[in-house]
Structures are given as structure tokens and as C-alpha cells.
Amino acid sequence: DAGVIQSPRHEVTEMGQEVTLRCKPISGHDYLFWYRQTMMRGLELLIYFNNNVPIDDSGMPEDRFSAKMPNASFSTLKIQPSEPRDSAVYFCASRDTDSYNEQFFGPGTRLTVL
């Protein structure tokens, strides 16, 4: 298996622009997580899905952030409009119910908002 795939790996955009981050989980995994990592706040859970359904989005910072999972093999995290404080590395992770507590992380998307 190729592991969790994220695109793009790097994104540089200007304040006010829309940003879409993409994730393909490991085939067969029924949980998908979106995290944001910064030096100051560390790794923060934004939202997670089970069987394509959002379960907990309490970590989504504000209405500018939205996430979807239209099918088992694809998820997006959208920021509209983007702000400089959104600059961070965004990780997607997946796991299946039977793999006791182990999440597998994608390579991350480094987002820079100018």
C-alpha cells in the first residue's frame, strides 16, 4: 500500500485566497483525521471522520475552515479566506477500527499564507 497520500506537499498563497488540501487514506481504513502542526501549539486535531461521516469537528478553529469526505478514498480540508496565521503543516492520518490505536500519518502539506 502507498500509505496516506496528501497533496499538495507545499502551498504558498496570499491572504484572502482559498486553499484546498487533499488526502487519500490507506485503503480499508475507516477513520480519517486532519491535524495542524505549529511550533507554538504542536499537533492539534482539527476534525475526524468515521465511514465518511464527520464525528468531531470541535478542533476546527473557525468558520473559515471546512472539511469533507465524499467517499472512503478522498477527503479535503478547505480554508476560505486564508490568513497568515493559518500557516502550518497540515497532516492527514488514517486508521482502521481493528488496528489498536495506531494512526498512520501522511507526509503533510506545508502551507504558507503571505
Partner 1 sequence: QKEVEQNSGPLSVPEGAIASLNCTYSDRGSQSFFWYRQYSGKSPELIMFIYSNGDKEDGRFTAQLNKASQYVSLLIRDSQPSDSATYLCAANSGTYKYIFGTGTRLKVLA
List the end-to-end C-alpha distance of the chain, in Å, as a whole number. Answer: 36
Beta-carbon count within 10 A of 61 CB:
13
Counting contacts by CB under 8 A, is residue 106 touching partner 1? yes
Instruction: Measure the CA–CA gap between 111 and 82, rounded to whole angstroms.
Output: 10
Rounded least distance, CB 40 to partner 1, Å: 8
Rounded least distance, CB 101 to partner 1, Å: 5
Give all strands (DSSP E) within 2-64, no chain letters.
5-7, 10-13, 19-24, 31-38, 42-50, 53-56
Site string for partner 1, 8-37 (x = CB under 8 A): -----------------------x-x-x--
Write out the H or E segment, with its range, that includes residue 49. strand 42-50
Contacts of 103 (CB under 8 A, 6+ apart): 31, 33, 93, 94, 95
Rounded least distance, CB 71 to partner 1, Å: 20
Q: Which of 1, 2, 42, 53 is in the footprint of partner 1 by CB under 8 A?
A: 42
Counting contacts by CB under 8 A, is residue 5 touching partner 1? no
Site string for partner 1, 46-65 (x = CB under 8 A): --x-x----xx---------
99: which 3 cell numbers?
Answer: 488496528
Binding site for partner 1 (CB under 8 A): 31, 33, 35, 41-45, 48, 50, 55-56, 91, 95, 100-103, 105-108
